[in-house]
Copies of this chain bind each other. A is one copy, B any other.
Amino acid sequence: MKHAKISEAVVRRLPIYLQVLNDLHSREIQTVSSQELGVKLDLNPAQIRKDLAYFGEFGRKGIGYDVIYLIEKIRQILKVNQTIKVALVGAGNLGHALCNYNKYSKDNMKITAVFDIHPEKIGTNVNNLVVMPMDELARTVKEQNIRIGIITVPAYEAQNVANQFVAAGVEGILNFAPAILRVPEEVRIHNADFTKELLGLAYYLNHEGDGNDDAIVD
């Protein structure tokens, strides 16, 4: 399995395919065509076939894709056919929310350790995990073989936390803080800052009736 040339656009779609396939599976649908997936996801069927074909031949001509088989294959590609351990720093509301979601998730990503910078949080409980102090982060990451770090601290603490994750040896970071973080290039960082999502959404609001009367020009 070679990954080098797969574009990020393709990788972003894989989890979406997985979501739909899981839904089909739960409704006991056994086979699906790229056509049907395309309708559900508003994507071109050729694109879906091409995306999947990067990784192998998973379909059957004239038939379509076996739902269970394709789920298994995509899980392999995304490496979630094995348990991937995740640590989270920042035991606030967002941290709690992520730990809870985690609980219901079918995929094998498990938050197994929670840390916080603030002494009053240490020792409290988050979804069956005891919040630990930051100076146990490096040891815990190594001992538990944690591979991904989630950052849910305020922006001004985020770089510091990222540095500690990197030093501890995580391979990827999911950053929820509204900050641009510097990490070595071998560490993959994804930003999930919802304030930017919200601003992007604002752009698409209709212009009319917002009191700001520069007309929409054709």
The answer to whether A78 touches B203 (Cβ under 8 A) is yes
**Is the C-beta of A174 less than 8 angstroms from some C-beta in chain B?**
yes
- A192-B1 Cα distance, complex, nearest whole Å: 29
- A214-B148 Cα distance, complex, nearest whole Å: 21
**Is the C-beta of A41 less than 8 angstroms from some C-beta in chain B?**
yes
Copies in the complex: 2
Residues of B within 8 A of A16 (CB): 180, 196
* Interface locus among A134-142, A159-167, A205-213: A205-213
Residue-wise, chain A 93-106 has the 8 Å CB interface mask toward B (1 for contact) of 11011101100010
The answer to whether A174 touches B203 (Cβ under 8 A) is no
Interface of chain A: mostly helix, strand, loop or mixed: mixed
From A80, which residue of chain B is reached at the shortest CB distance? B202
* Interface locus among A7-15, A45-53, A61-69: A7-15
Task: Kindly name the residue among A171, A199, A204 whose own CB sees the greatest number of chain B CB atoms within 10 A.
Answer: A199
Q: Which of B14, B190, B198, B217 is within 8 Å of A86, CB to CB?
A: B198
The answer to whether B15 touches A148 (Cβ under 8 A) is no
From A105, which residue of chain B is reached at the shortest CB distance? B195
The answer to whether B216 touches A201 (Cβ under 8 A) is no
The answer to whether B205 touches A171 (Cβ under 8 A) is yes
**Is the C-beta of A107 less than 8 angstroms from some C-beta in chain B?**
yes
Q: Which of B40, B94, B109, B218 is within 8 Å of A198, CB to CB?
A: B109
- A80-B203 Cα distance, complex, nearest whole Å: 8
- A76-B20 Cα distance, complex, nearest whole Å: 37
**Is the C-beta of A3 less than 8 angstroms from some C-beta in chain B?**
yes
**Is the C-beta of A147 less than 8 angstroms from some C-beta in chain B?**
yes
**Is the C-beta of A123 less than 8 angstroms from some C-beta in chain B?**
no
**Is the C-beta of A172 less than 8 angstroms from some C-beta in chain B?**
yes
Q: Smallest distance from the beta carbon of A108 to chain B beta carbons, Å?
A: 9
Task: Kindly name the residue among A15, A19, A105, A218 whose own CB sees the greatest number of chain B CB atoms within 10 A.
Answer: A15
Other A-B contacts than A15-B200, A174-B194, 4 sampled, CB-CB below 8 A, are: A12-B200, A79-B210, A84-B205, A98-B194
